[in-house]
Structure 1
Amino acid sequence: MFKIINFLNQIKLTTNQLVIYTCIYITLVLNFPFLSKTAVVVTAFESYNLFFLLSVPVFLLALSIFVQCFLSFRWITKPLLILLVLLSSVLFYSTVTYGIVFDYGMIQNTVETDTAEALSYFNFSAILFFLFFGVIPSLVIANVQLTYSSFVGELLARIKLLSGSVGVVFLIAIVFYSNYASVGRNNRDLVGYLTPYALIDSTVKYVRKNYLYPPLRFSLLDTSPTIKSDDSTKRITVLVLGETARSQNFSLNGYEKKTNSLTKDLGVVSFRDVTSCGTATAVSVPCMFSRLNKKNYEKRVAVAQQNAIDLIHLAGADVYWISNNNGSCKGVCSRVKTEQISTNSKNPLCDGEYCFDEVLVDELRKKLHSVTSNKTLIVLHMIGSHGPTYYRRYPENKRVFYPDCQRSDIQNCSQEELVNTYNNTIAYTDLVLSEVINELETLSNVSNAKTSMIYVSDHGESLGESGVYLHGLPYAFAPQEQIKVPLIYWGDKVHHEAKLACLNSIKGQPMSHDNIFDILLGEMEINSTVYQPKNNPFNQCTVDIALAKTTSQTTPQGVK
């Protein structure tokens, strides 16, 4: 090791030379995902220009050198280049291994990720990858000797390098402009793979939008929402907020493996064509509870106005948010009673870092026995199927599918093992939902309370399809696995029999997170100026049943 360091110490380079060599490494090695995906796009054409394809790495190299010409001077050169290499190696691993793209949404999700979740991505493979592609090249940069000439001499050399890089960029742009314009317009997702520049650009935008802009004044969408029903029947709705569950792995939706063996006989209605607002919790959760829809959603605006939870609470209903997800509620529950499940408890369902979702049922049971309000909404926020440590989302004795993948570097598991592990998380979620339903049904039978449950996931998950894992890809080109989510409804038979039959007839109707705001207000029977009945697909069943009752009551006897 010392011989290698001594050898490196004998290597003498100018600042410009070190910049060029480092940029070559970042361009040709750490940008391999970008270059390979670009090659796939270009070669897909029946007749493509080989010289255009070969110009891409040269063009990227020239741009990288151009950028570094303004940043790398004397003593700051090595620290800056080492930082770029270390950062780029982490991005390289994330993209190669999981298919992650560090756009604005991913930066937001990363910033809002808790420590335990972040640590779940570290494993032996990640450490080796980081050492080989990040640490070793950084040691090389740190130990070579830099030689300096006079200030004027270095300035002239830098101007020459800058001029050369500009000349290359200009020449390639002139010769292949139409090719770059065509590929760029039709494949905007490629920009997200530029390492590390896509990350830097997204980070600057995130910081600017979240820390440099002044906070918006909180807006009241409705100052006096009310509860429609004036009868004395208790109404309790439980919203189970799922995590990373994709619709296609639910046997309720036609999946061949029995992942919903417990809820299938409990009278639930599963809606089969539901899309999420985003591909990450940080976007989807605040979005689905917001009056804004996916098209105009902006977190800065959403957190500065009332959401569905606020309106239900303001109308007079008791609202509780109970979370087993350390990522919190993303600001949605800030103004209602909240409870975060402690992972450090002596509960056998907890291991010090995570708790299995059955702890939510225990907390629900306590709340149901102490309900005093006639209208109550309880939100149970699950940890669900959050990866990559899927195997830590279900107890050992609840494994249904074998063999499974008992590791976090999921790319090193077989496809069968990975899918089985994920399916085990869905089966365990199904168990939790069945227990929630049993608690509500028991309460309904004992006290005649009107009870219902809604389950919806925040986003889906990729399990290696097309080489993509986890979630968080930019929505514009995210696969269906990441944006198709389950939406399940259950209601006690005494109060909901006709409604359930009606909902079953529309379960194939397209829906999205944009409907959740109005579904919740409708289910809790909230009168509000911002409630949009047409945006509540459940409303057609409620209205039809109400009309049927009215007709039957007003129709003279003997008339059909």
Structure 2
Amino acid sequence: MLKNNIKISYFALIISFFNLLLYHLPFFRFVTNNLDSSSLSGILLIGSLVLIALVLNTFLFYIGLYISPIVGKFLLVVFAIVNSIAVYFINTYSVIIDKTMIGNILNTNLEESSSFFSFGLVMYLVLLGIIPSILIIKTKVVRVKFKKFLIHIALTFIFILAFVYINSTNWLWIDKNSKSLGALAMPWSYVVNTSRYYIHKNQENKQQILLPNAKIKDTKKSISVLVIGESARSKNFSLYGYEKDTNPLLAKQNNVHTYKASSCATYTTAGVKCILEHKKSNELYEILPNYLYRNDVEVIWRTTNWGEPTVNIKNFFKRGDLEKDCEGDGCNYDEILLNGLKEQILASKKDKILLVLHTSTSHGPTYNKKYPEKFNKFTPVCESVELAKCTQQELLNAYDNTIVYTDYILSSLIDQLKQLETYNSAMFYISDHGESLGENNLYMHGIPASIAPEEQLEIPFIVWLSDNSKELKSNREASQHNVFHSVLDFLAIESPIYDESMSIFK
């Protein structure tokens, strides 16, 4: 990297040093924030972490380069590029690169990922990714003799074991903080956690486990509309006591009820799974739309989002499908989900209908682009994807405007349902997870649920009922898993897996 014809052992050490220098500021920032760095024990622990990281990376890079210098250098280039991007997101959004975040990344589509593009990202990529990659490629390395290689490996391995033993007193602190430390160590955070993610995916059922057959108990025309929110936190809904009037239209609707609820995860794929399954489980049981469709209920799914488990129904409509017959500015936003909706419902020849609307309204970082201009109620708004560059008020204003727009969509939906006078109607609105907006220097979502702040977990659960359709229980707390059983109850579906205690209805 510094000159031509450098020995692989020296090259591995130099790469390890620059890997530590360029990509581990967040790692050591976390360390210094979580121990007394001015004490002797704190200084020794920091020094130990620096030394062990340097030696371990040199050890692993050395082995890879010796086996194949070409493949080894290729991997180092990949590491440099991915490290630069990872550090940008850690510094900008305070994310943690664990298995959960890897799942989030791998389930992100082009539209969402492109919204993160910024000048800051380009600078990180060029300075910390591309320039080091060029130097790695141009440096010529010389392999050492096999005997010398074995001696180096053996001595390094012995040193690592001895070092670990000597530092045994620090293992309690390291174990306590292992999740965060592992998620900030480059490149192993994403290498290890990507492997963990795919191992977990392979262990999941390849096909959904079918639930027991159900039957429809009556012929009363009934429709349940499940609206799945995106990144909506209850804290910013005026229906939940927020000081800014973000729900002016829903507040005027009759028969609107709110529940205190928490999400079971902080990312879309897991959050939506919780909403659609009949109980919390690591298994992939048949989800609500598939179950009802298989048991002769009309099921319609409309989405501007992604991340749901496999939906096996006839009427599944993505944004592209809905755009064909849509006109006006609203077609560029989530109100496209309402276009032609009443007509589609009336065209059904079945008595029981489940309609799912999967929105994307409050997903960051481009909150200001998630709603039409006329919903720019609170100003000024954050217009940068690098959210930390905005003031707290600008960020809240942009996000709050997405809630105002959500209020409009839900109220418009209720108005359409009111026109279906021959139906008993219910609307359930519940979010997949919440959102951080700069509290504790955290942004967006994806922090592991076990350590996530309340902003990423506390979600709205809003229910509207048509007149004289059903009575609600007095309980005002609910969970994402209440949705499955409440929908079955409202549509009068008799099933062996129905749990009366999980329904919100009397």
Alignment TM-score, normalising by the size of structure 2: 0.92
Provide the rounded CA distance (Å) in 2 between the counterparts of 1:144 and 1:123: 31
2:497 corresponds to: 530
1:144-170 CA deviation, whole Å, 9 max, x = no partner?
A: 332445x34xx51x3454345434433
Provide the rounded CA distance (Å) in 1 between the counterparts of 2:141 and 2:39: 48
Provide the rounded CA distance (Å) in 2 between the counterparts of 1:79 and 1:375: 57
Identify which of 461, 477, 487 aligns with 1:520.
487
Identify which of 464, 472, 476 aligns with 2:450.
476
Identify which of 427, 433, 441 aligns with 2:410.
433
| SS at 2:35 equivalent | helix
2:316 corresponds to: 338
Identify which of 293, 300, 308 aligns with 1:329.
308
**Structure label with greater radius of gyration:** 1
Over 3 Å counting, the alpha-carbon distance change for 1:256 and 1:162 in structure 2 is: farther
2:43 corresponds to: 50
Q: Check if 1:17 corresponds to 2:10.
A: yes
Over 3 Å counting, the alpha-carbon distance change for 1:165 and 1:475 in structure 2 is: farther
Tell me how far 1:48 sits from its aligned partner.
Answer: 4.8
Whichever residue aligns with residue 298 of structure 2, its letter is D
Provide the rounded CA distance (Å) in 2 between the counterparts of 1:57 and 1:415: 35
Tell me how far 1:138 sits from its aligned partner.
Answer: 1.5
Identify which of 469, 475, 486 aligns with 1:506.
475
Tell me how far 1:126 sits from its aligned partner.
Answer: 0.7
* Preserved contact between residue 9 and residue 143 of structure 1 (Cα < 8 Å): no
1:243-278 CA deviation, whole Å, 9 max, x = no partner?
A: 111111111111111111110121354545311121
Tell me how far 1:46 sits from its aligned partner.
Answer: 9.0
Identify which of 219, 235, 249 aligns with 2:222.
235
Tell me how far 1:307 sits from its aligned partner.
Answer: 1.9
| SS at 1:70 equivalent | helix
Q: How does 1:364-403 map to 2 (within 5 A)?
A: 364-403=341-380
* Preserved contact between residue 391 and residue 407 of structure 1 (Cα < 8 Å): no
Whichever residue aligns with residue 137 of structure 2, its letter is A
Whichever residue aligns with residue 329 of structure 1, its letter is E
Provide the rounded CA distance (Å) in 2 between the counterparts of 1:451 and 1:214: 36
Provide the rounded CA distance (Å) in 1 between the counterparts of 2:163 and 2:72: 28
Over 3 Å counting, the alpha-carbon distance change for 1:526 and 1:257 in structure 2 is: same
Provide the rounded CA distance (Å) in 2 between the counterparts of 1:165 and 1:425: 55
Over 3 Å counting, the alpha-carbon distance change for 1:204 and 1:227 in structure 2 is: same
* Preserved contact between residue 356 and residue 393 of structure 1 (Cα < 8 Å): yes
1:297-318 CA deviation, whole Å, 9 max, x = no partner?
A: 32xx31xx32222232233321
Provide the rounded CA distance (Å) in 1 between the counterparts of 2:358 and 2:412: 15
Whichever residue aligns with residue 458 of structure 2, its letter is K
1:88 corresponds to: 83
| SS at 1:466 equivalent | helix
1:40 corresponds to: 33
1:3 corresponds to: none
Provide the rounded CA distance (Å) in 2 between the counterparts of 1:186 and 1:78: 32
| SS at 1:69 equivalent | helix
Over 3 Å counting, the alpha-carbon distance change for 1:364 and 1:139 in structure 2 is: same
Tell me how far 1:479 sits from its aligned partner.
Answer: 1.4
1:439-494 CA deviation, whole Å, 9 max, x = no partner?
A: 111223xx3x2111000111111112222211112222111111111100001124
Tell me how far 1:363 sits from its aligned partner.
Answer: 3.4
Over 3 Å counting, the alpha-carbon distance change for 1:531 and 1:177 in structure 2 is: same
Tell me how far 1:290 sits from its aligned partner.
Answer: 1.6
Provide the rounded CA distance (Å) in 2 between the counterparts of 1:194 and 1:268: 51
* Preserved contact between residue 14 and residue 148 of structure 1 (Cα < 8 Å): yes
Q: Check if 1:319 corresponds to 2:303.
A: no
1:503-555 CA deviation, whole Å, 9 max, x = no partner?
A: 5x432x3x22232222222222211001111222x13xx1xxxxxxxxxxxxx
2:339 corresponds to: 362
Tell me how far 1:104 sits from its aligned partner.
Answer: 2.0
Identify which of 278, 282, 298 aligns with 2:269.
282
1:356-390 CA deviation, whole Å, 9 max, x = no partner?
A: 11111113233233233221111111112111111
Which is worse superposed, 200-209 or 80-89? 200-209
Provide the rounded CA distance (Å) in 2 between the counterparts of 1:453 and 1:45: 57
1:76 corresponds to: 71
Q: Check if 1:145 corresponds to 2:128.
A: no
* Preserved contact between residue 237 and residue 376 of structure 1 (Cα < 8 Å): yes
Which is worse superposed, 377-386 or 214-223? 214-223
Provide the rounded CA distance (Å) in 2 between the counterparts of 1:188 and 1:316: 46
Where does the alignment leave 5 or more consecutive residues of structure 2 unmatched? none
| SS at 1:257 equivalent | coil
Alignment TM-score, normalising by the size of structure 1: 0.84
| SS at 1:402 equivalent | coil
* Preserved contact between residue 368 and residue 398 of structure 2 (Cα < 8 Å): yes
Where does the alignment leave 5 or more consecutive residues of structure 1 unmatched? 1-7, 543-560
Give me the CA root mean square deviation. 2.5
Q: Check if 1:253 corresponds to 2:231.
A: no
* Preserved contact between residue 277 and residue 514 of structure 1 (Cα < 8 Å): no
1:91-138 CA deviation, whole Å, 9 max, x = no partner?
A: 111111112222222222222222111211122211111111111121
Over 3 Å counting, the alpha-carbon distance change for 1:214 and 1:402 in structure 2 is: closer
Identify which of 197, 202, 226 aligns with 2:215.
226
1:264 corresponds to: 251
Provide the rounded CA distance (Å) in 2 between the counterparts of 1:348 and 1:123: 31
* Preserved contact between residue 276 and residue 288 of structure 2 (Cα < 8 Å): yes
1:180 corresponds to: 171
Provide the rounded CA distance (Å) in 1 between the counterparts of 2:494 and 2:30: 51
1:306 corresponds to: 286
* Preserved contact between residue 318 and residue 375 of structure 1 (Cα < 8 Å): yes
Provide the rounded CA distance (Å) in 2 between the counterparts of 1:161 and 1:272: 63
Over 3 Å counting, the alpha-carbon distance change for 1:9 and 1:172 in structure 2 is: closer
* Preserved contact between residue 224 and residue 487 of structure 2 (Cα < 8 Å): no
| SS at 2:393 equivalent | helix
* Preserved contact between residue 255 and residue 466 of structure 2 (Cα < 8 Å): no
Over 3 Å counting, the alpha-carbon distance change for 1:164 and 1:414 in structure 2 is: farther
1:204-256 CA deviation, whole Å, 9 max, x = no partner?
A: 12333435x69545532212x0123x2x5321111111111111111111111
Over 3 Å counting, the alpha-carbon distance change for 1:24 and 1:350 in structure 2 is: farther
* Preserved contact between residue 250 and residue 256 of structure 2 (Cα < 8 Å): no
* Preserved contact between residue 105 and residue 283 of structure 1 (Cα < 8 Å): no
Aligned residues: 503
* Preserved contact between residue 268 and residue 307 of structure 2 (Cα < 8 Å): no
Identity among equivalent pairs (%): 27
Identify which of 407, 420, 425 aligns with 1:451.
425
Tell me how far 1:9 sits from its aligned partner.
Answer: 7.6
2:110 corresponds to: 115
Provide the rounded CA distance (Å) in 2 between the counterparts of 1:349 and 1:47: 67
| SS at 1:107 equivalent | helix
Identify which of 227, 244, 248 aligns with 2:231.
244
Provide the rounded CA distance (Å) in 1 between the counterparts of 2:349 and 2:38: 67
Provide the rounded CA distance (Å) in 1 between the counterparts of 2:385 and 2:482: 35
Over 3 Å counting, the alpha-carbon distance change for 1:83 and 1:365 in structure 2 is: same
Whichever residue aligns with residue 260 of structure 1, its letter is N
1:485 corresponds to: 459
Provide the rounded CA distance (Å) in 2 between the counterparts of 1:268 and 1:176: 63
* Preserved contact between residue 182 and residue 188 of structure 2 (Cα < 8 Å): no
